[in-house]
Amino acid sequence: MVRTSAVVSRAIALLLAAGPHLGACKIWAQFCDDTSCTENCGQSVSVNDPGCLAAEYSRGSVKLHGSDFLGAYLVHSPDARCGCQADCTAIPGTGGPECIDLSAKAKSQSYRFQLTTCKEVEGGPGVGNNCPGTNP
């Protein structure tokens, strides 16, 4: 018989309960040049994909579309390959704004989405700005 701690059992129960909901999430993002999500918007990418979005140099906004979304975080990197985190933007879930202005954030060359928090001030285990010699 395998014994598990109460914490592990609770975590497994939460994952099993959320599993079908996470699979149903269909949210897409497009990076745009202006701050109102209307100019030169790129190809839609899945917010569930944690891969690096390179060559998105200093975009002004991100446009969201889709359904059944719980929220995510957008990590900003000053280099072209998501080498560090200079800033982070909380992306609200369904019912939040469809256009998020990025103009006040750290200038970035690459971005990536993640489902867990990325800034200490948001209460998570994140590191905030971990890029040497940069300030957002």
pLDDT tens-digit map of 33-52: 999 999 999 999 999 888 99
> Residue 17 pLDDT > 70, yes or no?
no
How high is the pLDDT of residue 7? Answer: 43
User: Tokens 């867990």 identify what position?
Assistant: 116
Supply the mean pLDDT for the chain. Answer: 76
The tokens for 30 are 């497009």
How high is the pLDDT of residue 115? Answer: 83
How high is the pLDDT of residue 87? Answer: 86
Burial label for 89, CB within 10 Å (0-12, 13-18, 19+), is buried
How high is the pLDDT of residue 70? Answer: 83
Q: What is the dihedral of CA 32, 124, 130, 34, to 10 degrees?
A: 10
Distance CA 23, CA 111 (A): 23
How high is the pLDDT of residue 3? Answer: 47
Confidence of residue 32 (pLDDT cuts 50, 70, 90): very high
Distance CA 136, CA 78 (A): 10
Confidence of residue 15 (pLDDT cuts 50, 70, 90): very low
Amino acid (1-letter code) at residue 68: D
pLDDT tens-digit map of 69-115: 888 889 999 999 998 888 888 888 878 889 999 998 878 999 999 88
